[in-house]
Structure 1
């Protein structure tokens, strides 16, 4: 089976059909409202690949824990729906996120609730550190620098691979900063922000602010917010932006059109800064208030005016396009406004950016389908206090929205009278591709460091008998003849252990339309004119182990 693990739920969404069990839909099963219809062991085993990845795409949802994923899924897809990207990754585990507290060492106290600096530093360096610390070890106090720890991005850069760093926050914020800078305090983002990091100032012989270090590390594609930091003057006089352009040949782009116009890295690395601070969330705010709360059973989130800013999926797609090369690449991409809007008790803002993350995961999976030596990891950095509750009176602050099911969902924020805070619970981690199986079980976020760099491959059992193909298909049960001719019927087809897959629309002995899809299946649209009555959608999967087929019946009405 290919490593492309797209959930084939788009057809169901377009046609009103709910497929329960994302992995079942794409792995060759026929999911029902009760769950999966057959054992998945062989199909999961077929996706285990112990080889080292050539490309690594790490997608981070800041503050994205299971509660926030569930709230966003309920709103966007319904309780029985699934995200087409995020929920399609076959290997899923739980990840702990604790950090350390400052002290004398070497045995530092545990910080059970951490901020984004030590958590992002954890997967970047494979080591624990203290709050506020960026890819630098613990020490006796926050203002005392620790030991610089090398990062995954820096290691891949040293190997000659291209590297990228994308965020919807300021690119100098904690999570993107941890990928390629080292400093004792996350607040030291630009040259004018160095009050707590005096030893790191370039005029004092240090590496400079986070903004300066990111360009000094020659990140090939650096995209997000934070222009104000790069407009700050360096100790030497020019702004960081001017320094990047003059000293490292960075090409600056400031809007979506400028980003679209960049087609290669032949003329130098790209610095894309699309707003002075953090980028605009996908949805307008809906900020929770004290009970009875804000919103109600008919409240839906409204799309925000984002001006000429590219969205998260567009930035991720452009980064992948520019970084793709024969030697491979590393990309970290963060949907940051999930966390920032959770801090603001803004449920719509957080949902919108989790939706944006799912769209970016789909972009990565599309690339992986053509480049199966690509490892994709999707996770968060820490948990947050967003909780789905039973009603508007069940929290210090609450907000209610109407989900895709048409029913009200109330979320609560109860760690503060206003706003909300991080929590210390474990979070989801999921992956697809080479060495993706290493995320299963309960791991710590520091474990991702070795997985992303590529662990020593293990030996897998040899299978001598070709697996028999499996197939499943799903589509809407009824549509009109006019709809079939104009828009067609969306079909979710899935197969495993196959080399050829065809989906056909059949009436009696006549084939009305057919299309070939990828060897794991796909979502296709079949059209036919002047058809009424009963028709059948058939999937046929052929492979070394034989042939398998599945079908579903549709009723085509006159109107």
Structure 2
């Protein structure tokens, strides 16, 4: 696989880079002695914003725990690299247990949960049982519980736009929990309702998951799952769910990335993108773990999959934000679902590819937040999985080995089953940036995210004598020379680091003339600056970081060659 990001700097190395006053040309963080003795208290204090968020972007890596994040990071960036999701200023751990059916009112604890109760947890702020979507526990799996209002529904009720996107079927558990209420996650379409009979529309219920999603009039629905929407409804009239969505709710149906690119606003009605019959194709071809000595080798690399006309998650995220952006704010849930599904298959390359793609979507969100600081970004998973980084290819029931960006072997093991792999009950990563992001620190439960996304009662920060906002700092790295045609066609690669900033702008100039302008996240990032015309001679890269404590400018001179 071509490495997804050839970063000149690691985002997580911000403090050390600024402390030593220069950036390196390596993807690795500097050594601990290179300025890591600088205290970060003022920097973190400047990130605290107790105000209620206007918009919320929730990014979910299904099955994404710290072990899977580390494996993907080691492979794509090397052991000292950092993802964009690692750069979010506030990080904590999140518990994910659920409940079991029973007589109640006190239900037994399920220490290992599936995606239905975990996604319902942050969507509703309440625990429920395996297989159940935004509906409370009950005496048996086929007995419906109480419907719980979701974050998405509350945003909708408040008059805000909403979006729900995924790389699985849009009717799968995680996206479904945002805007559907049903006792069994398997009840995706009208033909799948054997275990959800009270919910059938013919029986006076809310219908299948596919029907509920469009009845809730989510403004942007993107993912796979066309097969659920081509099923006939059971309420009569001979309609499919798809035609019902179009005729009853005015949905515009998108079938590939060309359709997605062509939509520029919601003025023509909500959009329903169904880009695959069921789940969308993972980003990478599979490398499936096998019994020792395992699959792969010390020189094995992942290879990109042929995905046809399917958009990737970062493209769907960028388009969803473009469509939802408005003065009143919005809620968007975006899920990289195939991490989990490829972990179940012990496919390490598939899981890595879709975790790296989730990180690309995080970058898209951070780019938006750089210009809209009233946006809360949360990045987390729904539950842990059994992917483990191990010492060698005999250290597990099933193993696979890859060559990392460091050039060294990485072996992962799966040991929960003799064939395939399953969830575990470990706590997982949660990280956030923006208003009320500090609420994710420490150890929280995933139900706590519900109150944070809806906006907690703002607290009052300390008054006079409290630490003052950190004066912004900026640093920039780029090559010293580059072919002018490369600048025009592919762009000049630039890495930026910043601290204490609420906005970071990067410009490419020639003789004082601005050739290109980009914004990056508040802590920096990687961009490519393209010039529409070939320019010979000296170029200047100018980075301006502005924030509560003032502004700072960093420049870098680059010479073009013919």
Give the TM interval when normalised to the shorter protein.
0.7 to 0.9
In structure 2, the partner of 1:219 is 218
Task: Output the CA distance in 2 between the equivalents of 1:221 and 1:26.
Answer: 40
Consecutive unaligned residues of structure 2, counting only runs of 5 or more, are: 22-28
In structure 2, the partner of 1:473 is 475
Consecutive unaligned residues of structure 1, counting only runs of 5 or more, are: 1-9
Which deviates more from structure 2 when the two are superposed, residues 514-523 or residues 337-346? Answer: 514-523
Provide Cα deviations, 1:520-558, integer angstroms capped at 9, x if missing partner. 656577999679xxx99998878886887889999x999
Q: Give the TM-score taking structure 2 as reference length.
A: 0.87
In structure 1, the partner of 2:24 is none
Provide Cα deviations, 1:362-417, integer angstroms capped at 9, x if missing partner. 11111111111101111000000000011111110001111111111010000001
Task: Output the CA distance in 1 between the equivalents of 2:556 and 2:30.
Answer: 13
- For these two proteins, the number of residue pairs brought into alignment is 537
- Flag the 1:27–1:47 CA change in 2: closer, same or farther, 3 A: farther
Q: CA RMSD in A?
A: 3.3
1:495, distance to aligned residue in structure 2 (A): 3.9
Pairwise mapping of residues 139-178 of structure 1 onto structure 2 (< 5 A)?
139-178=138-177
Q: Secondary structure, in 3 states, of the residue corresponding to 2:475?
A: strand
In structure 1, the partner of 2:31 is 33
Task: Output the CA distance in 1 between the equivalents of 2:498 and 2:514.
Answer: 18
In structure 1, the partner of 2:494 is 490
Q: Indicate conservation of the 8 Å contact 2:14/2:497, yes or no.
A: no
Pairwise mapping of residues 335-484 of structure 1 onto structure 2 (< 5 A)?
335-462=336-463, 467=469, 469=471, 471=473, 473=475, 475=477, 481=481
Q: Indicate conservation of the 8 Å contact 1:18/1:80, yes or no.
A: no
Q: Give the TM-score taking structure 1 as reference length.
A: 0.88
Which deviates more from structure 2 when the two are superposed, residues 146-155 or residues 463-472? Answer: 463-472
- Flag the 1:252–1:421 CA change in 2: closer, same or farther, 3 A: same
Q: Secondary structure, in 3 states, of the residue corresponding to 2:221?
A: strand
Q: Indicate conservation of the 8 Å contact 2:51/2:435, yes or no.
A: yes
Task: Output the CA distance in 2 between the equivalents of 1:139 and 1:408.
Answer: 48
Task: Output the CA distance in 1 between the equivalents of 2:246 and 2:515.
Answer: 53
Task: Output the CA distance in 1 between the equivalents of 2:336 and 2:355.
Answer: 7
Task: Output the CA distance in 2 between the equivalents of 1:504 and 1:217.
Answer: 45
Q: Does 1:13 align with 2:6?
A: yes
1:471, distance to aligned residue in structure 2 (A): 2.9
Task: Output the CA distance in 2 between the equivalents of 1:501 and 1:37.
Answer: 28
In structure 2, the partner of 1:45 is 45
1:32, distance to aligned residue in structure 2 (A): 2.8
Provide Cα deviations, 1:417-456, integer angstroms capped at 9, x if missing partner. 1110000000000001110000000000000000000000
1:502, distance to aligned residue in structure 2 (A): 8.7
- Flag the 1:360–1:25 CA change in 2: closer, same or farther, 3 A: farther
1:267, distance to aligned residue in structure 2 (A): 1.4
Task: Output the CA distance in 1 between the equivalents of 2:547 and 2:131.
Answer: 53
Q: Does 1:24 align with 2:23?
A: no
In structure 1, the partner of 2:118 is 119
- Flag the 1:147–1:38 CA change in 2: closer, same or farther, 3 A: same
- Flag the 1:28–1:449 CA change in 2: closer, same or farther, 3 A: farther
Provide Cα deviations, 1:197-242, integer angstroms capped at 9, x if missing partner. 1111111111111111111111111110000000011112311001
- Flag the 1:482–1:552 CA change in 2: closer, same or farther, 3 A: closer
Q: Does 1:94 align with 2:88?
A: no
Task: Output the CA distance in 2 between the equivalents of 1:544 and 1:250.
Answer: 43
Q: Secondary structure, in 3 states, of the residue corresponding to 2:364?
A: helix
Q: Indicate conservation of the 8 Å contact 1:164/1:332, yes or no.
A: yes
Q: Secondary structure, in 3 states, of the residue corresponding to 1:322?
A: helix
Q: Secondary structure, in 3 states, of the residue corresponding to 1:232?
A: coil
- Flag the 1:53–1:406 CA change in 2: closer, same or farther, 3 A: same
1:493, distance to aligned residue in structure 2 (A): 3.6
1:20, distance to aligned residue in structure 2 (A): 7.6
Task: Output the CA distance in 2 between the equivalents of 1:225 and 1:463.
Answer: 53
Q: Secondary structure, in 3 states, of the residue corresponding to 1:399?
A: strand
- Flag the 1:297–1:159 CA change in 2: closer, same or farther, 3 A: same
In structure 2, the partner of 1:5 is none
Task: Output the CA distance in 1 between the equivalents of 2:561 and 2:547.
Answer: 39
Q: Indicate conservation of the 8 Å contact 2:136/2:146, yes or no.
A: yes
- Flag the 1:385–1:537 CA change in 2: closer, same or farther, 3 A: same
1:270, distance to aligned residue in structure 2 (A): 0.6
Task: Output the CA distance in 2 between the equivalents of 1:497 and 1:87.
Answer: 18
Q: Indicate conservation of the 8 Å contact 1:467/1:497, yes or no.
A: no
Pairwise mapping of residues 508-527 of structure 1 onto structure 2 (< 5 A)?
523=526
Task: Output the CA distance in 1 between the equivalents of 2:422 and 2:257.
Answer: 33
- Flag the 1:456–1:254 CA change in 2: closer, same or farther, 3 A: same
Q: Indicate conservation of the 8 Å contact 2:45/2:469, yes or no.
A: no
Q: Secondary structure, in 3 states, of the residue corresponding to 1:180?
A: coil
Q: Indicate conservation of the 8 Å contact 2:473/2:500, yes or no.
A: yes
Q: Does 1:301 align with 2:313?
A: no
In structure 2, the partner of 1:76 is 76
In structure 2, the partner of 1:269 is 270
Q: Secondary structure, in 3 states, of the residue corresponding to 2:6?
A: helix
Task: Output the CA distance in 2 between the equivalents of 1:204 and 1:542.
Answer: 58
